[in-house]
Structure 1
């Protein structure tokens, strides 16, 4: 299996309260446009028609701009998986028992999962982080999934797991019941009913999906009043604190999410603060980081969506976030599998940009 890495955290964790976390999510560094201009200048000299490599050219600009390197590189690629358990599983939303989460974490550590093979193929280092020692969240149909303190601790876990020396971060998750949490978060952030976002997850049949949708509806109704922003909770007038549904994105994440989803949010935030481009995985990963897009314009600009999963709702969620998937392979595994599969695509983009000859070097006539 790929080596399990150690990690060194970013210089400091910039939050100890929801208000501090909100500030960290809104004060985000931008891309290095001067580097991107330099990349574009070189791209225009390479032996090909302008724009003929399509999205590969955009990916090179993206990588280099966030790495702040005119010659982007992919020497240190990190796959980071967060695992967590969910109290809502007791509502019968998954055909799999909750102890599978711990068993799969052990499988990752022993090298027997799909992501172990995919990470090796991608020449990436793999690390798995069981969040809160896999203690389940509360059943969010009757209580917030996490207390404020537990939510912040899970976000910090993700934030501190990101290594500073990293050229590309690939994020993924493992957690029985977490597609229910992701669907509930999607509904809380972007609206719609449970049936609009609930999918098969790890193999539900049609009646199981319908039941899952009802569980999500129950959770939304239970938390609706408490998810409305207020100046006391957000530090800003209610009219400017919520997303499309009017709910506070961080309260949606705390009340309807899960420990591993909160850690994904923290890791994506840390990567932004230290200038690491991020490949997102499937539905759960996308839902977990969606609050960043609502809290700050361009909050997910340092990310790219690796693939569109077969899980119902992922394509719709990607559209809401203006994330265009790089691959569409019918995956619904999680584990950062789609993110790892997209790494060779990025390697190809970098290889073309850095290895191709210019028209002058190849003595090829340019366009007249």
Structure 2
């Protein structure tokens, strides 16, 4: 189970106190109005690809005081694995009508309430849902959620996106993305680290980062420690940079030759595929199949990638534990010469959950994960 990370956005002056940890198995944001109404926005697995992998946004609408928020959160986290369009706060019947809300909680799929009763008037009243056993509850059951998701083509029917989203959580920081916040000098220092890696092939020392950290009135060591805590990079026992995703300061199986830049090591196959997009530069990725030892190369020119061998794939996996991506997944996201080799590797590593992804999918994940970091 993923650790719950709660972030608050205050719209009013008084923060609401909704215990997101109750039944919430994924990170969430509590949106508060300063009144007695709160909305809960789950950043579910894969949520940072908002609108990219799934065609429909999913929105959960809740009104405080119904006593069903925890149940609704639990059901939605189990039934939905795609990106959320956001959370809305219904403060009155007028707002309820605008959002298509016919009671609390309401689930909207592509703007439509799949549980709506024909002729039901807009309402902010507490809503009851019919369960499988005929009883009524304050939130839709997991089974009913999956049923309506399947009806609009969003369910876990194929299993692929659900599984993939789970194993990709460490890469995308559980839906929070890899673009560091602007506050406290985090982004300016993070970007300085990435640019130094790209230009030199190695990590910058603290002195090189002091000017960037000083813009926020902080020391480089202080900013790096916070970046490491949030898994934007990793530090060794002496506080020196060991990795700054997608780059590694130590040797890995994945070498990237940047045109007009340096030769660098990447943390994993996905990270390597994200480097050309992040730098808007041509590059050559040189790796090898961990089973056969055969070379796998990817040449990126003008945004197009050519793979050798043509049958090459990427295995996307993770260990069943919490921690930074460097420990949880980086060494198990590798290139393979073909599906058979990737399957053989997965069979020999039952402690790793994951799946084989196509070249196009692997490229997409890399580009979406790292492309925005220097913009």
TM-score normalised over the length of structure 1: 0.26
Higher fraction of strand: 2
> Which of these two proteins has the greater Rg computed from alpha carbons?
2
What is the TM-score of this pair, normalised by structure 2?
0.25
Higher relative contact order (CA 8 A, sep 6+): 1
